[in-house]
Amino acid sequence: MTPDECKELYRRDMEEIGEKVIIRRYFGTGTNRNKFEVEILARVIGYGPQELVGTIQQGDQKLIILVKDLETFQFPLPLIKNDKVIVRGKELNIEAADGNTRRINGKLIAYELQVRG
C-alpha cells in the first residue's frame, strides 16, 4: 500500500466515524495569552485495561488525527506535550503525540495522541 492509498483510506474512515475536535496551542503566559486553534476530525478511543501501562492512566483517551488536516490549516507542527485538544467541549492536555506508529514508507499519515483531563 502506498502512502497516498493509506491517506485515502484514513480519510474515508475519519469522515465516517470521526468527530469534530479542536486542536489548540497557547503562546505566551498569563490569562490573556494568545492561542492558535483548528477544528478537525478525530477518532476518539478509550484505552482498554490491558493498555494501562507506562504513562497511560485510567481515564486517558487515545485520539487519531490526520496530519493532512493540521497541515491544511497550517497548524505549527509537530504536535507537542501540553498542546490541547477540545473533545465534546472539554479541554484535554496532550500527554504524548506519537508520530511513528502511523507511518507508511516513512511518510506520517496520522498522529496517535494520548490525552488527559
**Each residue's pLDDT tens digit, 83-99:** 999 999 999 999 999 99
Structural domain of residue 105, as residue ranges?
Answer: 3-116
Number of domains the chain contains? 1
Q: What is the CA radius of gyration of the chain?
A: 14
Please give the Cα distance from 102 to 72 (Å, whole number): 19
Q: Give residues with Cβ within 8 angstroms of 101, minimum separation 6.
A: 112
Q: What are 102-115's pLDDT values in tens digits?
A: 999 999 999 999 99
Whether 109 contacts 7, CB under 8 Å? yes
Rounded-to-10 torsion of CA 9, 10, 16, 18: 180
Whether 94 contacts 83, CB under 8 Å? yes
pLDDT value for 89: 97
Q: Model-level pTM greater than 0.85? A: yes
Length of the chain: 117
Q: What are 35-90's pLDDT values in tens digits?
A: 999 999 999 999 988 888 888 999 999 999 999 999 999 999 999 999 999 999 99
